[in-house]
Structure 1
């Protein structure tokens, strides 16, 4: 005999209430995503067509005037060039380093979980904190910091890492902090891909006389990592476009941001929230940047054959 609690549970969990429970669990996420992502995004697109100085409720419609002004601004195009330089190095460097670490950890027979955790640990650190550690402890000024201390041990001249433009040592600081922060995450992705490769492929290669090492990696391991490689490259390019925290916290000071190494998001930050507070122009730049990211992502997906059925 079923009690009242059993009948109540059957009514609540019955087929007619599936949609209710779906929205109970998914609804808060959808609401938060709408309020904090899609509404600001739509409002930014709206502002990009108005003269919005110091206001988020503009009335002067300018059409595509903000887009024309942004594309004709040398500072904005220079920031895009800065991004291309940054991306051209950070994407392949992170890819190769994370893949190398994944191959190394995957070959370990003991303490694999320990080393996986050690390499992944920097991912938990925020970009702001990591940038401040690099700026204040490792590459701090001319007389202080770990890097200049090591140079002093070897009798080399000390370097103003973040203010020297010839040669541009600040790129070394920016690239190393980005590598330290994100390599562990992509290493875990590659490690998951390596552990999904069927062992029988390596056994068949050994029977056929394939040499361990480069030959096996080239003909078996790397082709089997194709899907993981596509995802890693896509994420790396998108993250490079969104570079802001490490640039701003490493290079800015009480006088503001220097004229060099200014990525698009830093430029848009000063355009929209700086002294002029031109929210319309900044929103137009943000829309242009979003369109560039979308185009690059689609081109990459088509080039890599993402979503295409394999033979």
Structure 2
């Protein structure tokens, strides 16, 4: 009887835990399925149909949408725009966030204050930051902050967002992204730095290693390898997903200019623009997702992510 009672009690406990698990997880799981996985699957289905101005098409076209999007010069140009943006933003963000983390980690007093100050821009909306950069900092008229500084040195004002030779708009796009995300990656590096055993630095000092670049190269950077890999992967993926700053900085009442169109801006105008070609837009989204997956897996293999240390 005792064994039977114990088994019944255990089964009841398991059932109660299962019930409470679904009480807490169920709403989130339903929302995730409804607002994430169902739209993803439906977008994949739309990519095989002629879906102009409708989300319930009936004309199956097979791979025609994929052929059309891959032959579209605007889409390939958007991928080149991504490559240029990535070439700017990834190494610059990596270096600046690591430098800030190293400086904050050396602070002995008010470290939490400096960490919070550098992290604070992360809480700002990309849309709000882009509008501040566009209307106040890099305003094309002489009263913008950047042009005011140029005027102090006797230089002529610059139309930052409409000048393509030289392409000054890259300075605006890159600086707003740096201001928004450097603090986040600084926190990641700071967490990695605080996991490094101080004994390693003490042993290096005993062996005569000079503080500075030798210690950074032979101790700090190798110990931050896992953090560095994660930071680079996140930076590349986020660069692929860039939209808010590009759209809010460069678009106006006349529309979006023909330059500096990242993939998501291209997909936005294809699927939701005048033509509303949801089939081609969905095909472009699938191609972009595949590119992100291939690049991410390639980086993981390159950095030997998950491989056992020899």
TM-score between both structures, scaled by the size of structure 1: 0.95
Deviation at 1:79, TM superposition (A): 0.6
User: In terms of mean alpha carbon deviation, does 121-130 or 27-36 score higher?
Assistant: 27-36
Post-superposition Cα deviations, 1:80-120, rounded to whole Å, max 9, x if no partner, equal: 00100100110000000000000010001111111100000
Alignment of 1:95-114 (within 5 A): 95-114=94-113
Q: Residues 144 and 11 of structure 1: is their aligned pair in 2 closer, same or farther, counting only changes over 3 Å?
A: farther
Distance 1:249 1:12 in 2: 57
Helix, strand or coil for the counterpart of 1:80? helix
Can you list the C-alpha shifts for 1:243-282, whole angstroms capped at 9, x where unaligned?
A: 0000000000000000000000001100000000000000
Q: Which residue of 2 is the match for residue 73 of structure 1?
A: 72
Distance 2:27 2:195 in 1: 35
Aligned mates of 1:90, 1:298 — CA distance in 2: 20
Aligned to 1:168: 167
Look up the match of 2:3: none
Look up the match of 1:47: 46
- Unpaired segments of 5 or more residues in structure 2? 1-8
Matches within 5 A, 1:184-223: 184-223=183-222
Query: Quick one: distance in 1 between partners of 2:12 and 2:309?
Result: 41
Give the alignment's TM-score, normalised by structure 2.
0.95
Deviations 1:63-82 (A, max 9, x none): 00000000000110001001
**Residue 3 of structure 1 aligns with which residue?**
none
Deviation at 1:13, TM superposition (A): 8.1
Question: Is the counterpart of residue 183 in structure 1 residue 158 in structure 2?
Answer: no
Q: Which SS does the other structure have where 1:211 is aligned?
A: coil
Distance in 1 (alpha carbons) for counterparts of 2:79 and 2:10: 58
Residue equivalent to 1:115: 114
- 2:20 aligns with 21
Q: String of CA shifts for 1:276-297, please: whole Å, max 9, x gaps.
A: 0000000000000000000000
Q: Aligned partners of 1:246, 1:30: CA distance in 2, in Å?
A: 31
> 1:11 deviation in Å?
9.3
Q: Which residue of 2 aligns with 1:5?
A: none
- Which residue does 2:297 correspond to in 1? 298
**Alignment match, 1:251:** 250
Tell me the distance in 1 between the aligned counterparts of 2:238 and 2:224: 21
Structure 1 range deviating more: 31-40 or 246-255: 31-40
User: Equivalent residue for 2:4?
Assistant: none
Match of 2:6 in 1: none
Quote the RMSD (CA, aligned, Å): 1.2
In structure 2, relative to structure 1, the CA distance for the partners of 1:236 and 1:13 (3 Å cut) is: farther
Which residue number in structure 2 is paired with residue 134 of structure 1? Answer: 133
- What is residue 240 of structure 2 aligned with on the other side? 241
| Bigger mean CA deviation after superposition, 202-211 or 154-163 | 202-211
Structure 1 runs of 4+ with >3 Å offset? 10-13
Unmatched runs of 5 consecutive residues or more in structure 1: 1-9
Q: Deviations over 1:147-169 (max 9, x none)?
A: 01111111101000000011000
